[in-house]
Amino acid sequence: MSSFDVLAAQSAPMKAWLAWMFAANVSSVFFLRHIPARWVLAATAANVISMQLLLRLYGTGHHLSLPHVVFWTPLLIYLFSRRNSLLGWSPFGVWCVVLFLTDIASLVLDYAAVVKLLLR
């Protein structure tokens, strides 16, 4: 099953959420002169590659949440620790806030999925 097949099988709200998350994270390319944006892009690339690998090896399931937990948890801790220098009304500052809120919402769901995976 390809990633396109998995995406096509999702509900419309899930497709919208996945598109939003992808856009929020990939838009880091517009802010690459800022070091945190480079970390976001690196974490996004690692997520995409890891999820593709897990999908090919094991198919769909709760295990697809693992890359988010592994890569986004330290990323969000890093961003939170630098919050004083990241917050502001500049486009970069607004993007940081939107990205943080988006990824933290996803992580809540991802941690729940990982707990379900571990309790099986």
Confidence of residue 14 (pLDDT cuts 50, 70, 90): confident
Own/partner pairs, 21-30, CB within 8 angstroms, 24+ separation: 21/102, 21/103, 21/106, 24/95, 24/98, 24/99, 24/102, 24/103, 25/99, 25/102, 25/103, 27/95, 27/99, 28/95, 28/99, 30/91, 30/95
What is the number of structural domains in the chain? 1
pLDDT number for residue 1: 65
For the stretch 19-34, pLDDT in tens is 999 999 999 999 999 9
For the stretch 72-106, pLDDT in tens is 999 999 999 998 888 888 999 999 999 999 999 99
In terms of residue numbers, what domain contains 53? 3-119
pLDDT value at 36 more than 90? yes
